[in-house]
Amino acid sequence: MRSIHARLIIGYVLVVTLTVFIALIVGRWLLDKNMLRSIDLMNAAEFQEIHNRVESAERSESAFLKAVEDHADLDEPLYYFQIRRKDGKIAFRSPNMKKAVFSPNPPDAPHCTFSIQPLGTVRVSEFAEGPYEIQIGASLGNPQHLFRSYSQVALILLGIAFVMSLFFGYWLSLLALNPIRRIQQTASRITADNLSERIPVSEAEDEIADLARLLNQMFDRLEYSFGRLWRFAAEASHELKTPLSLIRLQSEKLLLHGNLATNQQESVQQQMESIDRLHSVIEKLLFISKSEFGAIRLNLHRQNAQELIHAFAEDAQVLCEDANVRFEVLENVEITATFDAVLLRQALLNLLQNALNVLHSGGVVTLSSFREQDRWILAMEDNGPGLPEDKLQEVFEPFFRLERDEKCGSGAGAGLGLAICRSILDLHHGKIHAENRASATGLRITLELPL
């Protein structure tokens, strides 16, 4: 059983129910002991009355027996009387004993419990009086009936204790685990994109408060480490832009002079292309770093999404024709939403470029824009090789690329396009996810934006 909540409830129910059960058993045992002790004292008091009556009578056996018989007539409804001589012969039995006979008590047990037919269970006390052994018995029928009632009540109380312990155990376990549940909820919200949130710490100086403080200290260290990492990326990207611009400027001057050999001009052209690619990578890194720090201000406007798709489709047609790939808009529902048109268009261009990197001549890219409840859905599909299932979550990580021999092809580029898409969707409080097409080969990437 994995749930601590369930284990606490079961443990509480077992402890409470077992405690009540033991208390009832001990109470039954104590009640039995006290009852027998009370009956023994009453038998002794009864013998004392007989002793007092006999002392005032004559010393003959007939007078002794007559005194006992007179007393037995008075207390016959409550007690049984039997007198045994020293030779073991019975000298007197009270009429209420009928045919029953008391056996002698063991020498070391003046009070014994016997089951005697037809009297039932009887508590017999034996006392010496001169040459006689007087046995006085009290029926245990009424006490046994009381014990049966006690057992029935005890079962009812045990059932009540079980139900009540289940109820209180449930709420007590909720109360005990509530601080841990708050820690879990807060910790689940703390991600690489949200490192500033902290677990609330109660004023109580207990183990849970210590755990919350320890976790907050760990999150402080993580936030500091992530901050240094992204600051380094942002600062390095910014510092590299100037020298790259100077190198490109010098390369352009070499080409303008026109005194270079043909092979030298080609080398300079390749150098400028490499500088442009490196500059593009730096711009993308700088964008991701700024989005992580929340330094990008969105130009949000409530506008027609259908117009954005129309404008993007015109550019997409040109790019796809150049790559001999067909582009289609399958669905473009009229939707009014709040978004940054420039950034969202950049995200769609990145998705398109990602598809073009893996498609061969004659491939197809489709785009659908529709509404689903309170969300605006943009879905771009291609008929390329798709992705391995275990890579669908990693594809949005910076610098993610697959080798040429893997399923998705060459994976041209720096591996930052989809990471930028995720950053743009995060800025819009939206979601992005990738999946392989179910009906055919290819990849489907879905953007979800709140309306």
77-121 pLDDT, tens digit each: 889 999 988 888 888 888 888 888 888 988 888 999 998 888 888
Query: What tens digit of pLDDT does each residue of 324-364 get?
Result: 999 999 999 998 999 988 889 889 998 998 889 888 888 99
395 neighbors 411 (Cβ within 8 angstroms): no
Quick one: 57 and 100 in the same domain?
A: yes
Quick one: 282 and 329 in the same domain?
A: no
- CB neighbour list of residue 202: distance below 8 Å, 6 or more residues apart: 179, 208, 209, 212
Q: Is residue 170 part of a domain?
A: no
Domain end among 126, 146, 166: 146
- CATH number, domain of 265, equals 1.10.287.130
- CATH number, domain of 408, equals 3.30.565.10
Give the torsion through C-alpha atoms of 387, 389, 395, 397, to 10 deg: -160
Quick one: 283 and 312 in the same domain?
A: no
- Measured CA to CA in angstroms, residue 337 lies from 17, 332, 450 at distances of 60, 14, 8
Domain end among 260, 293, 326: 293
Packing angle, helices 341-356 and 305-322, rounded to 10: 30
- Residue in this structure with the two tokens 């008091």, named with its chain if needed: 45
Stretch 407-426: mean pLDDT: 69
* pLDDT at residue 26 in the model: 93
Q: How does DSSP assign 242-261, residue by residue?
A: HHHHHHHHHHHHHHHH--S-
Quick one: 421 and 438 in the same domain?
A: yes
Q: Which domain holds residue 265?
A: 207-293
Quick one: 287 and 326 in the same domain?
A: no
pLDDT band with cut points at 50, 70 and 90 for residue 4:
confident
- CATH number, domain of 137, equals 3.30.450
Tokens in use for 113?
């419990």
Q: Is residue 118 part of a domain?
A: yes
285 or 149, higher pLDDT: 149
CA 53 from chain center: how many Å? 79
Q: Is residue 164 part of a domain?
A: no
Identify which of 296, 294, 244 has the alpha carbon closest to the alpha carbon of residue 271.
244
Tokens in use for 436?
């392989």
Quick one: 8 and 121 in the same domain?
A: yes
Quick one: 57 and 107 in the same domain?
A: yes
Quick one: 252 and 327 in the same domain?
A: no
Domain end among 259, 274, 293: 293
Identify which of 37, 52, 33, 40 has the alpha carbon closest to the alpha carbon of residue 136.
40
* pLDDT at residue 365 in the model: 93
Quick one: 348 and 435 in the same domain?
A: yes
What proportion of the chain, given as a percentage, has pLDDT over 70? 88
268 neighbors 255 (Cβ within 8 angstroms): yes
* pLDDT at residue 52 in the model: 84
Q: What's the domain count of the chain?
A: 3
400 or 74, higher pLDDT: 74
